[in-house]
Homo-oligomer: A and B are copies of this chain.
Amino acid sequence: MSDLEVVSYRPERDQYAWTFGGAAPVARIRTPVVLDVFTEDAFFGQVHSENDLVSEVCQFPFINPQTGPFYIEGAEPGDTVAVHFVSITPARDWGVSTTIPLFGSLTGTNVTALLNEPLPELVWMWQFDRAAQTCRFTARHGDFTMDMPMNPMHGTVGVAPANLEARSALVPDAFGGNMDTPEMRAGTTCYLGVNVEGALLSLGDGHARQGEGETCGVAVETAMNTVMVVDLIKGAPCPWPRLENDDYIMTAGSARPLEDAFRIAQTELVRWLADQYGMDVMDAYQLVSQGVEAPLANVVDVNYTSMAKMPKRYLPGGTVMGGAHARLKELAAQYRG
């Protein structure tokens, strides 16, 4: 379609951001716009083999590079940015996963601080068959291999936080960030409330696939070529991240302990239904209680993330968020021609 602007951006090595907030914008964009970007993997591309230990080849805090931030013209606090993922395509034919000392859900960490010895630090190289859309696990001990379907996604997409803060790219919170949910895939629209002028959108942390909860703390990490349609919804607040695809509306809550992440996602969903459909809050509470799906996203990051997914077929008719998902899908279809 003729008039939809396309912005392509492939950062140089020194052009990545490492925080949400506190980084200067790399470009200014006018919405609606197609963003066609490259994202480096969470280890800045420095783990290439089983011998490349994160604790040796990575230099903290230069972990989880973000492509961006993009300054969205006209975005102000009280608005919402909508990011529709058109395609998320691994840029390499391999990915990497690892254990990292004092990180992961089944080990003592810097915060769940224990006296036990840490787990061994190990790297697993995953080989991709991009034609078959599979990725291959190879055991480090023994000769077991297993092909799993690829489900390319972004662990991290966010805007600058409120309260004058700058947060590490490892943090998920109300501003989005490192939520690590497999729902952040092509076909999904992600809504993020704007906290500062220009919103300062960035993304990264591509995963060829990830289990729910991201148990060991690391997915099948890889670089991505990603196309999004980005729009701005003026005057529509979004207190916590919302996601939408053709079948579900979703909320993401990020906090510790994990029940607080659950509570955030669920209250946000209940209140969203009540606001959107004029439903009584208690009725919305009941409807959600019987209809919701509640997969975990991550139980490893600075905050844990819990998803609340409501099937659209259980909702009253009509669209949410001003119909942005359908509109952005249409724009995506125009873009792909």
Q: Give chain A's interface residues, CB within 8 Å of chain B.
A: 18-19, 21-22, 60-61, 97, 99, 105-108, 111-120, 122, 124, 126, 137, 139-142, 144, 146, 148, 162-168, 170, 209-220, 253, 255-260, 262-264, 266-268, 270, 277-283, 285-296, 299, 304, 306, 308, 314-316
Chain B residues, Cβ within 8 Å of A22 = 22, 164-166
Bound together, the chains give a CA A119 to CA B115 distance in angstroms of 7
Copies of this chain per assembly: 4
Q: What are 18 pairs between A and B in contact, CB < 8 Å?
A: A99-B282, A105-B263, A111-B255, A115-B267, A116-B118, A117-B117, A119-B282, A139-B280, A140-B280, A148-B314, A163-B168, A164-B166, A212-B293, A213-B294, A258-B259, A259-B304, A295-B295, A296-B296
Bound together, the chains give a CA A122 to CA B213 distance in angstroms of 34
Chain B residues, Cβ within 8 Å of A283 = 139-142, 144
Contact of A165 among B166, B214, B257, B279 (CB under 8 A): B166
Bound together, the chains give a CA A19 to CA B278 distance in angstroms of 39
Q: Are B99 and A285 in contact (CB under 8 A)?
A: yes
Most chain B C-beta atoms within 10 Å of own C-beta, residue among A18, A111, A144, A148: A111
6 pairs of A and B residues whose beta carbons are closest in the complex: A141-B280, A258-B258, A257-B257, A212-B294, A116-B116, A211-B292
Chain B residues, Cβ within 8 Å of A278 = 142
Chain B residues, Cβ within 8 Å of A253 = 113
Bound together, the chains give a CA A99 to CA B270 distance in angstroms of 14
Closest to A311 in B: B148
Chain B residues, Cβ within 8 Å of A257 = 256-259
Besides A111-B263, A146-B314, 14 other A-B contacts (C-beta < 8 A): A22-B166, A61-B162, A106-B114, A115-B267, A137-B290, A139-B280, A139-B287, A146-B316, A210-B289, A210-B290, A212-B294, A214-B289, A215-B285, A294-B299
Chain B residues, Cβ within 8 Å of A116 = 107-108, 114, 116-119
Chain B residues, Cβ within 8 Å of A164 = 18-19, 22, 61, 166, 168
Q: Are A289 and B168 in contact (CB under 8 A)?
A: no
